[in-house]
Structure 1
Amino acid sequence: MPQHSPDLPPELRPLAEMPLIKRLLARFFGYSLTRLHAQHRASWLHGQADGFRSGHSAGVDYGYKEGKLEGLEEGRQVLLIRDSRCTEHRPPNVDDLLFDDWRLPLSAELKKRMKADVARLLPAHAQPSAAQWKMIFSDTPSTSVIAGAGAGKSTTLVLRILLLTHYLGFELSSMTVVTFTRESRKDFINKLIELFALWGRGISFKEARDLVRTFHSRILPMVRSLPGFERLQAFENLSLRAAQGDEEVDSNPFDLRINDAQRQQLNACYHRLHRDDERFRELIKPLSRHALQLKELERDHPDVQKRMGVTELAAKRDEELCDAIEDLWFRAGAWPIKGIEPNRQSFDINGSTFHCHGYIPSLDAWVVLGFDPRENPQVTRPNAKLSVRAEWAVKRTLFQAFCRKPLIWLDSYESSRRVLASLAGDASAGPGFDYKVKGELASAPLLDCFVAAAGFIENLGLDVPGAVARMSFAKDDPDRFFFEALSLYWRALEDHLLDQKPPIMTYNRMFALFSEHSPENLKLLGDELLRPLSHLMIDEFQDVSPQIVSWIRASLAEIRSRGPAMHVGRAAQRSSLLCVGDDWQSIYGWRGSSPTYFMDFNKEFPSPSTTKVMLSDNYRSHQHIIDAAEHIVRAAPAIAGKKAKASGEPKALLPVNVLDRDDQGMAQRLTEHYRKGDSILMLYRKSSDKSLIEEHIQSVLNVDSSLPYEARRLKQLTYHSAKGLQADAVFLLGDCQHLTSSPFKNQVYRMAGLGKAGDSEPYDNAQKDEILRLAYVGITRAVSHCYWYVDAQDTQAANMPKASDRIGKGKAFFVDHRKSQITA
């Protein structure tokens, strides 16, 4: 039923609510009155009511809509006011910057005064460029300087130190300049003393040494400040203790050679662990068998196929061959060997009978003596057509292919002495066998392999046992036993070294003690030990390792956390970091270094403000040398925008000459340059190449070696050790080639977060870039002439990438004389 409004009188209620009869009468009367143009009061009232109702309804609708809109608008304005207040809970940001937000107080007047002094005191050719002045006057807490080869960075860095000390009054004790090697440190100290003297500031050799340091010489005092470590010795410095005080010692971080004092500690730890740890003994057995056993050859190997035809003939002469080789060993005092029973045993090799020389009961292995490489290769048995060496080579190949007994082949008198010492239980001797970790180029004594592998892992900022626990190897892979043995040995060695009087510790262990993993240890250091790191300047920064980076960041964070109280009463306030480097010259990845930290400088060393300087002028080489080197290296990832230009005295544009390997031709050309008075660098990749060349340049060597060292014009160095040097003529001997794949280094590279995400071979791929950088370093040593002698084909790694693949065809800066290129 429809509901009428209770506030209307009955006569104004809608017609629909009236009884039917009344509705009909009302309509009839209303219609009649309308025709008569008369009014019927009730009908009029009903019409009025209907109009009121419809108007009321429309008004209500309109008013409601208008009111709602106005209300919403007002509400919206209220909400906007309320939104200006943050209703969401958010914690404050974390300040993870390494520096306060500050600037060096460099006024325009101070800059003008220093520039005038430099113009007056330095010769015209030594005046800084605009980019060099930008580096000198950088006022931000952090500065990265990309300095290409020959950029004149050393003088610029000394002028930066002069700015801080002479013009701003900073104390020398508030800063450290870091160089990587003894040689570069010595050169920089001399330059520092020389330039300071021009400004009338005498600086003693000791003051300069205290300022210019290696990372190693800064970390050692930190550890010695800890209770109980006051007389701590660095393992890497052991051999140098007797010759000079520890404070004067700088170890070379890239020198992997182990001396007698170090080896004595390594061997003593090995024997104690071998005696006390059953698991370690079990691990050494498969390693020794694998290392000493003659390596197998497939029967379809070309050498096997070639020598199978003479098997029967070789068997007939085998006893006489055994006699001849034993005689050589006996005359050398290398046979018999204690611990090896000199019993000849017969073996069936491809249907013929051959013999061995002895048996080792402790290893259950038979022994065959080899032909020592130091013996005359032309030695021949009476009435024999082949030399003893050639007969022995045939026998060795047949044994490799067809002998499946445990067999140890002693290749040299030296290897026999190591086996003898080990079998005799000599505590001064090591395990007595060599080992080769997959991916390494050559085998080495087992403990040397331990040291090299552990050093690589620790340089990446990893703990050795922790890293080993995360590695994976195939069940039958001998490296599985090697790395488990390493894990046990390395922990034992660290304990053994600390037990010495005085205690000993490796530098890697020292850096780890004060890294980001152990920031609480930095709290133990006094201000005087941290203050020299307040204003830190690092040269060759592209060669830093993750381990060093972690120590630097931790030290800078601790300095900042101590605040202004650390600098009370001193002109040098707060802290800063200036790093100079060239990512194109990063060539120590095989030791764990990485250019990543320089390329991503702003991310790795967060600062409120950073200055980036690009030193593009090359004051050493002409443009063809620069362009050739950059053409080779440009395929490697690099800091964007790099392009060097030749500056200084104009030089004749001579292309880099690429030639086939020709020792005689190279010697002739080298001699011509020497006679003209040129300085010469001969750079080689393998020491055997150096020996071969020396036979052809003996006359030059005789003359040059008779001169005082400073006056010598010929230097023979590896590519790696030539960095920082230059010469009028550079001779590059050998290609730069990535030769192997390293499963273990790929694994730990991933653990250290290096390489691209998802890359299963990050170390190998980094090495493919590094060979290009190595060629760049070699070429950019040249002032005027560069000759690159490349072997026609290296069968060791024919399909592996090499730097010479990048030699540009049709480029003015290269002339390729190789026969393969001419015929092509």
Structure 2
Amino acid sequence: MSHDFPAEPPHELTADLPPDLTTPERLPFFKRLLARVMGRGLSRMQAQHVPSWRQGHADGFLNGHAEGMDEGYAEGRLDGIEEGRRVLVIRDTRPGEHRGPRVDDHLFDDWRLPLTNELKKRIKADVALKLPSHAQPTAAQWKMIFSDTPSTYVIAGAGAGKSTSLVLRVLLLNHYLGFELDSMTVVTFTRESRKDFINKLIEIMGLWGHDLSLRQAREVVRTFHSRILPLVRSLPGFEQLQAFENLSSQQGNPSGGDLFGNKLLDDGADSNPFDLRINDAQRQQMNLCYRDLYAANPRFREVMAPLYRHSLQLKELDRDHPDVQKRITVMGLSSKRDEELCDVIEDLWIRAGAWPIQGVEPMRQTVEVSGLTFHVHGYAAELDAWIVLGFDPSEDQHLRRPDAKLPVWAEWVIKRTLFQAFCRKPVIWLENYEASRGMMQSLSGAAVAGPGFDYKVKGELSAAPLLDCFVAAAGFIENLGLDVPDAVSQMSFSDQDPDRFFFEALSLFWKAFEDHLLEQTPPVMTYNRMFSLFGEHSPENLKLVSDEGLRPLSHLMIDEFQDVSPQIVSWIRASLREIRGRGPALHVGRGAQRSSLLCVGDDWQSIYGWRGSSPKFFMEFPKEFPSPGTTKVMLSDNFRSHQHIIDAAEHIVRAAPAISGKKARASGPVQELLPVSVFDRDDDQLVARLIEHYNAGDSVLLLYRKGSERSKLPEALQAVMNADYALPPGERRLKQLTYHSSKGLQADAVFLLGDCQHLTQSPYKNQVYQMAGLGKEGDLEAFDNAQKDEVLRLAYVAITRAVRHCYWFIDAAGNDDAAVPKASSRIATDKAFFEDRRGAVRIDESVV
């Protein structure tokens, strides 16, 4: 314990004088009298003064007492200090509340690349010597190449020249820092971009004396799909695993795989993550699973019935529709002759061998339609719907009933219109004989060709075969990092919404389908399931991967990062955590140490939200990928387009949320500033301008919003395209693509066909978007609102493909629908970088 002593001695002490000094002892009277007389005499003689004596005596006592206290205090204090040096002093400085250690949630160790100023100067000198002047990095690009922090994100707008910078980053790690190539992976999104990057890597590494083979370069440059597949194959029992997306039909190749006679692609390198088409080999597996599940699972059969009925059920028609108003006048006559019409059509179906249908009870029944009597041909108990047979197009179009004025097909069309407008019973209208065969297979449980009908999920643009709808919906849900059955269990739909049956059927089918694929020899798995098995929800699986299998993920460089999905992000984070968790032991004896992540992207070019990707992970990069040090690089130079092209595209996209501070500047050769010209859709003008540019030697891109536009292009344009395609590949100058497919391309002149619009609302995607934590909290239409921003970004991508000229042709019919979000609403007529010629009177240029 500690003791406190006073700094000064206590001077203000009160002395208690002894009684003999204050009150003299009493003497006998005579002695007292003598003493008093003598005292007075002495006082008169000034030989003695009693008060002075008393005062002096008292002062002397007090002073002596005080001096004694001083001396005692001084000596005691010194002794106390000396003694106190041998006493432990404890001061409690702990916080009042208990706190444990902080959690280090970083994905990386706190380290830096060993880049000295001398090394940077040497690299810059080498690059200046070996690369041409137009390929020299800018200051911002050098910042990207020389980033020494564990994580780096690079905002690279259109035409920013990021590819060369990425290659130089690989060169820096390998050639100058000694990082082995098998410790790094460069990820591109498509096979085209992968091919281009591989060629550039081989070329530049060769300039530094590295003879990189095509195989070595392909090992470094990957798609996400081609990197996850060998990771799964490294585990016992999965050495021959095949990806479902890579199954393809064998085409006379005896060295193909052995799964049902299918050729098996090796590593998924050529798979396109945004290709939703189902080929025959994939469909075969889906049909087999559907057949088995339909036969074995009563609940699956129950939920399939209302889906089938909904797909085949006659669609309602508004009573004010012109066709209804025209045909209602003959409604009474049609009712009177309906039984005769049914006899004729039923005879045709029996003669064609299409009637009766297994699972449908043939029973001519009357139904009331707006107070009049009409007939149906049968009843499907499993579907709880009435069946009406149609007039097959293969039959004689001139066939008439006796004494009838109209042919049979026309009478049948009138009946169908009246049923659409006035019949509210569940009616399935079989249009042709083929429809009966599909129904027969489905109702009999012998649907080896799948369910045999199309379905349209709310929010999708068109109907598709049911199993294709399953694949699309499951893919979207899984891309968001969700499990299909679990997500479905959290959805809700109205009692009358057939989508509730669709998603229950999807939940049952998808679980059975994944099990079905794993039971094949060799086993098969979807890519989404592979990523899920090695994501943050299953970190224990990554511990099964060997050091050699995990090491290529140590130093990741990812291009087009704005298009990653939550599923991919989860896999990346889980892999980086596992790498850090293994510590230095993973890198013993190697030049490459620890781990790093460099991502290049542009949130303005995020256009795959409809597949489940989101720019959120790039826009919030430091939060999504916690690191002890993060470098942000902004590449603002555009080496492709002139400033008017840049400004027009940016003006449209600025209405969408974005990383702050973005503004591109034209940095290529000086060009004439030409505005983006906007026209009403006019195919004659389109063809004339396109041919003019093509004949002038320009490269041309013809971009359309929807793939269906391809078949509608004018014949004159098709002729030019065919002639160009006949040229050797290196001489072709004309490409036609969708807006989405054009990313990464450029041309002297770009022709855009169609507006960028968000036309639908998707209840199920809004729900799973919320489950995935995307969108603003409490936003019940998170996906739809995200799509409203995405149509602006899609227009930005399309416009920035242009080097010099951009022409935008927009259908005039859609201009007046203000309720539909569209990119063209951002066209600014008062800006020099737009020339809006919509509604202008056309002038015959041949006359001028």
TM-score, normalization: structure 1? 0.84
- Residue in structure 2 matched with residue 203 of structure 1 by the alignment: 212
Give the % identical residues: 73
Shift in Å at residue 543 of structure 1? 0.5
Does residue 631 of the first structure (1) align with residue 640 of the second (2)? Answer: no
SS of the residue 1:793 aligns to: helix
Q: Pick one of 89, 105, 111 that aligns with 2:114.
A: 105
How many angstroms does 1:703 deviate by? 1.2
Deviations 1:500-520 (A, max 9, x none): 121111111111111111111
Within a 5 Å distance, the mapping from 1:312-711 to structure 2 comes to 339=358, 349-350=369-370, 360=380, 362-368=382-388, 394-411=414-431, 418-423=438-443, 425-711=445-731
| SS in structure 1 at match of 2:813 | coil
CA separation in 2, counterparts of 1:354 and 1:683?
A: 50
Q: Which residue of 2 aligns with 1:819?
A: 839
Alignment counterpart, residue 292 of structure 2, candidates 250, 272, 279: 272
1:303 and 1:177 mapped to 2: Cα distance? 60
Which is further off, 501-510 or 137-146?
Answer: 501-510
Larger Rg: 2
Matched to 1:189, the amino acid is I
Cα contact 1:546–1:594 (8 A) shared by 2 = yes
Q: Does the alignment pair 1:285 with 2:305? A: yes
Deviation at 1:666, TM superposition (A): 1.3
Which of 753, 767, 772 is matched with 2:773 structurally?
753
CA 1:469 to 1:527, structure 2 compared with 1: closer, same or farther past 3 Å?
Answer: same
Residues 663 and 696 in structure 1, CA contact (< 8 A), matched pair in contact too: no
Question: Taking structure 1 as reference, are residues 93 and 815 closer, same or farther at Cα in structure 2, changes over 3 Å only?
Answer: same
1:198–1:792 Cα change, 3 Å? same
1:457-513 per-position Cα deviation (integer Å, ceiling 9, x unaligned): 111111111111111111222112221222222111111111112111111111111
* 1:669 CA drift (Å): 1.7
1:42-61 equivalences under 5 Å are: none
Q: Which residue of 2 aligns with 1:212?
A: 221
Tell me the distance in 1 between the aligned counterparts of 2:727 and 2:411: 47
Change (3 A) 1:91 1:773: same
Aligned counterparts of 1:777 and 1:413: Cα–Cα separation in 2: 46
CA distance in 2 between counterparts of 1:296 and 1:795 reads: 28
**Structure 1 position 328, deviation (Å):** 11
CA distances 1:517-537 after superposition (whole Å, capped 9, x unpaired): 111111111100110000000
Separation in 1, partners of 2:125, 2:433:
69
The aligned residue for residue 156 of structure 1 is: 165
Cα contact 1:311–1:350 (8 A) shared by 2: no
Contact 1:216 1:250 in 2 (8 A): no
CA contact (8 A) 2:641 2:668 kept: no
Is 1:238 aligned to residue 258 of structure 2?
no
Partners of 1:379 and 1:499 lie apart in 2 by 51
1:71 corresponds in structure 2 to: none
Matched residue, 1:95: 104
- TM-superposition CA deviations, 1:16-43 (whole Å, max 9, x none): xxxxxxxxxxxxxxxxxxxxxxxxxxxx
1:135 aligns with: 144
Is contact 1:439–1:743 with CA below 8 Å preserved after alignment? Answer: yes
Q: C-alpha deviations, 1:684-742, integer Å up to 9, x for none?
A: 12233221114341321231121123322221111111111111111111111111111
1:174 aligns with 2:183: yes
| Alpha-carbon distance in 2 for matches of 1:120, 1:441 | 54
SS in 2 for 1:559: helix
The answer to whether the Cα contact below 8 Å between 2:750 and 2:807 also exists between their aligned partners in 1 is yes
Shift of 1:585: 0.5
Match of 2:195? 186
User: 3-state SS of the aligned residue for 2:311?
Assistant: helix
Offset from partner CA, 1:340-379 (integer Å, 9 cap, x none):
6888776554456666677656535444566889x99x97
Question: 1:418–1:430: 8 Å Cα contact kept in structure 2?
Answer: no
Give 1:227 shift. 2.5
Residues 246 and 265, structure 2, Cα contact 8 Å, conserved in 1: no
Aligned amino acid, residue 188 of structure 2:
T
The superposition leaves residues 765-799 of structure 1 with CA deviations (integer Å, 9 ceiling, x where unpaired) of: 00100010011111111111111111122399762
Are 1:625 and 1:813, in contact at CA under 8 Å, matched by a contact in 2? yes
> Measured at CA, do residues 747 and 250 of structure 1 come closer, stay the same or move farther in structure 2, by a change above 3 Å?
same
Separation in 2 of the partners of 1:423 and 1:364?
12
Query: Are residues 1:254 and 2:274 paired?
Result: yes
Measure how far apart 1:582 and its partner are: 0.5
Q: Residue type matched to 2:239 in 1?
A: E
For 1:400, the aligned partner's letter is Q
Separation in structure 2 between the aligned mates of residue 684 and residue 412 of structure 1, nearest angstrom: 34
Aligned-pair distance for 1:297? 2.7
* Aligned twin of 1:19: none
CA distance, structure 2, for counterparts of residue 385 and residue 816 of structure 1: 54
Contact 2:478 2:484 in 1 (8 A): yes
Cα separation, 2, equivalents of 1:796 and 1:452:
32
Tell me the residue number matched to 2:35: none
Q: 1:393–1:211: structure 2 CA closer, same or farther, 3 Å change rule?
A: farther
The partner residue of 2:238 within 221, 224, 229 is: 229
Report the CA distance between 1:432 and its aligned residue: 1.8
Give the letter aligned to residue 198 of structure 2.
Answer: I
Of the structure 1 ranges 410-419 and 780-789, higher mean CA displacement relative to structure 2 is found in 410-419
SS at match of 1:221: helix
Q: CA deviation at 1:541?
A: 0.3
Checking the alignment, whether the CA contact within 8 Å between 2:482 and 2:772 is kept in structure 1 is yes
How far has the Cα of 1:450 moved from its partner?
Answer: 1.5
| Pick aligned residue for 1:120 from 99, 106, 129 | 129
CA contact (8 A) 2:563 2:608 kept: yes
Displacement of 1:111 after TM fit?
1.4
Closer/same/farther in 2, CA of residues 665 and 352 from structure 1, 3 Å limit: farther
In structure 2, the residue corresponding to 1:409 is in which secondary structure? strand
Q: Deviations over 1:413-438 (max 9, x none)?
A: 77555435434543521112221111
Return the alpha-carbon distance in structure 2 between the equivalents of residues 462 and 364 of structure 1.
35
**1:688–1:184 distance in 2 versus 1, CA, 3 Å:** same
Contact 1:326 1:335 in 2 (8 A): no
- Amino acid in the other structure paired with 2:499: D
Whether contact under 8 Å (1:176, 1:537) holds in the other structure is yes
Q: How big is the shift at 1:301? A: 4.5
> In 1, Cα distance between the equivalents of 2:752 and 2:347?
43
Question: What TM-score comes out, normalization by structure 2 length?
Answer: 0.81
* Cα separation, partners in 2 of 1:310 and 1:499, compared to 1, 3 Å: same
The Cα shift of 1:162 comes to: 0.8
One-letter amino acid of the counterpart of residue 602, structure 1: P
Unpaired segments ≥5 residues, structure 2: 1-15, 17-88, 250-256, 843-848
Q: 1:125 to 1:379 in 2, by over 3 A?
A: farther
Moved more, 266-275 or 722-731: 266-275
CA-based RMSD: 3.2
Partner Cα separation in structure 2 for residue 329 and residue 204 of structure 1 = 65
Q: Deviations over 1:545-582 (max 9, x none)?
A: 00100000000001001111110111110000000000
CA contact (8 A) 1:422 1:429 kept: no
Taking the aligned partners of 1:440 and 1:81, their CA distance within structure 2 comes to 73
8 Å CA contact 1:337–1:420 kept in 2: the answer is no
